[in-house]
Structure 1
């Protein structure tokens, strides 16, 4: 449970704290049982290669591509399906995964719009921090949690947004409350709720984890986003967040030089991410998840880039396997 000193340090409104605390003991008690009772997530080896895919409108060819690339797992980005998570889609997605022997490790939504991926409008449009879009995005996350439960996927991820570094900012307390609600919802479906790194410092994310205080809350590490947003070196972020990291996007990038725009995402191996040190840190932290490649391009060039990135990452993983 939270102690009073933590409430004072974080500046969480007492009314909000009491609302969170009223559920905490029961949540902590049922969480392991709920996780155990959920449909079994399919097994895969720690550090198995993965690929982030957007399977709309037809999952079959995208999942087939994952198999063609020799990758055993996928990370499902499902924004285009919000409001369309039908039983038929469950069957179609499950059949495609089974046919191609691909394990879906994590699902994610970040919409509905607007979403402005920059420093000027990002704080007011991204995630569940902005009041104007919070309810709709929480609803979308609950939809995808229910969908993922039927698929047997045990991790739900999103960008929570530019979470205030000042724990006395009213938006901080509201965000903690929203994350707590989503964590409870996912735990009830036998899932972890993961906050994707990027718009906040690792220290701020750790503070949120401590304030929510629930075993189903974790971190989705995006190695490049920490650099693209100028928030932290991913090697240092692993030192801070390592025990809570349950999924990762393998992605590379360069630091921002224009204070209005994010840094540049680049092919893995061409940016600032030291993957050898990241993997070494994750191994030391006991990481059990996949290594899901995310390349933010499209078309034939994206496929070629992913092929190169897979070879690069497999080489680094082999080098660090006994470190």
Structure 2
């Protein structure tokens, strides 16, 4: 009889063999509308990954090889790319570099995100006027950045583009609301033309407000990037209840934990997964029941050796939950 460790290793080998052979069927068609400058280096086709495959959010700039290698060394098969460091520098050479590194380390990039340009104030006092596509002063620059990100992601066969859309008004008669609908409609159409989904990351708005936006944009390419902690950090909802509202629309996930805000000026505290208010067993079970096909991407908002140690702990915690769900 095989030991549990031997079974896990065998399963991992089988999964890697599958990933090596599988390709994204739509990647070739998605290349048709990307800029010619990126098309010159856009032949890379990523393999598929298993539903709810664990991954890691990384910020590749300024050393993408070190970051993608770290994903591999920590035992992840997927990564979520935060690409703000490359705005205005998405070149064919960068496409070639990223494609080579993803292939070299057998890592699948599942989603690409930008939130810049600045300013961005991650708090309750200045956040509404600085974050996302809601503020008029920064809207066009952010749309331009997202289109850059979408075109670059397309050149790598990445099918999801994500951002924080901002503090979307709960009042549909607020003059900023229809303007935000128009902006999200514009970027969703751009992503759809690239064969991608555009995802609104949860956080600054209530789940009901996000659902209204999905209804008003009325484009199947628009979906949700579930950040489990942000809903709590911003005091908007707990993720279990959020999934009751947004579950069918979730196409990407940040696994992150946090505590409710107790200072009305500051967000709640992000903490190591398993030490906060997120009910991960229930959230992951609900996603499984919903037939969620995306990755589960760990995001730990620290840096250095402590971040790596935290991620290792979080990976083990989530693997234990996912194994129970899959073996039930």
Compute the TM-score of the two structures, normalised by the length of structure 1: 0.88
Deviations 1:106-144 (A, max 9, x none): 000000000000000000000000000000000000001
Q: Does the 8 A contact of 1:35 with 1:188 survive in 2?
A: no
Name which structure has the greater RCO, CA cutoff 8 Å, separation 6+.
1
SS at match of 1:147: helix
Deviations 1:81-113 (A, max 9, x none): 000101111011110100000000000000000
SS at match of 2:301: coil
Instruction: Quote the Cα distance in structure 1 between the aligned partners of 2:27 and 2:206.
Output: 29
Deviation, 1:285, is 1.5
Q: Does the 8 A contact of 2:27 with 2:157 survive in 1?
A: no
Partner of 1:79: 84
Establish whether residue 204 from structure 1 lines up as the match of residue 206 from structure 2. Answer: no
Establish whether residue 230 from structure 1 lines up as the match of residue 222 from structure 2. Answer: no
Alignment of 1:69-218 (within 5 A): 69-218=74-223
Partner of 1:270: 275
**Residues 59 and 239 of structure 1: is their aligned pair in 2 closer, same or farther, counting only changes over 3 Å?**
same
Instruction: Quote the Cα distance in structure 2 between the aligned partners of 1:88 and 1:315.
Output: 40
Instruction: Quote the Cα distance in structure 1 between the aligned partners of 2:293 and 2:99.
Output: 23
Deviation, 1:36, is 7.7
Partner of 1:293: 298
Number of equivalences: 291
Q: Does the 8 A contact of 1:42 with 1:152 survive in 2?
A: no
Deviation, 1:42, is 2.7
Establish whether residue 38 from structure 1 lines up as the match of residue 30 from structure 2. Answer: yes
Unaligned stretches of 5+ residues in structure 1: 1-32
SS at match of 2:55: strand
Instruction: Quote the Cα distance in structure 2 between the aligned partners of 1:301 and 1:202.
Output: 32
Instruction: Quote the Cα distance in structure 1 between the aligned partners of 2:120 and 2:26.
Output: 33
SS at match of 1:321: helix
Partner of 2:39: none
Deviation, 1:322, is 5.2
Instruction: Give the root-mean-square deviation of aligned CA atoms.
Output: 1.4
SS at match of 1:164: coil
Q: Does the 8 A contact of 2:26 with 2:195 survive in 1?
A: yes
Instruction: Quote the Cα distance in structure 2 between the aligned partners of 1:133 and 1:121.
Output: 14
Q: Does the 8 A contact of 1:191 with 1:216 survive in 2?
A: yes
SS at match of 1:261: coil
Deviation, 1:37, is 1.9
Partner of 1:28: none
Q: Does the 8 A contact of 1:35 with 1:189 survive in 2?
A: no
